[in-house]
Structure 1
């Protein structure tokens, strides 16, 4: 609101009115938005889990990714190598063969464990896969 009454100099001064308050006495600007107030309890219950997840999972992953750009030794200072390690792993024949054998081992062990679960439920009867419980 501008007050232009009774001042002969022609200057305009800013007049601030009383601050608006709600029924409970809080200022309007200090109120929490409605969508946050409606779910405040849920946010407070999830907050510790999110904080712990960030500390024990997300931060170590980010830090490990950062450290993967350095070559480190106990006796020497860390040396920045950039994407050289990633290039080495993707172009080396030995590492690609190892990734292939690891994935085949994973698939074999998964098939084996799923068939053994089937047989443990079947007691002495035959399972669909033909395995017999020993």
Structure 2
């Protein structure tokens, strides 16, 4: 487990979907950072050459790069959806969702040491337990 992520065995199609979802996440983060940078530069530089070259210049503006990042994010989202739809019958979506839930829990500050240790010792078992809970909730039951 490196960087707060659980590692379980996945099919090639499931691994592809995981990578596509990471691309969506990272492109969204890039877009947000560029937007924040543009806002910060605009707030700091009311006038002058720097603002003229970076903020107001159509050839190299932060907003232009932000727009490109938004395009990348949209493309990544479309490709992720297309990947999921293409391999729908080959992907265990409940397992994928369970893995995302476990990864989110691993990155929460309040997550117990016992849970983190269980994830480290038996990642497939933890994901399968979460998957069972997800399936029970989908079927209207409570586990």
TM bucket (normalised to shorter chain) is under 0.3
- Structure possessing the higher radius of gyration over alpha carbons: 1
Instruction: Calculate the TM-score normalised by the size of structure 2.
Output: 0.23
* Bigger fraction of residues in strand: 1
TM-score (ref. length: structure 1): 0.24
Which structure's residues are more often helix, by fraction?
2
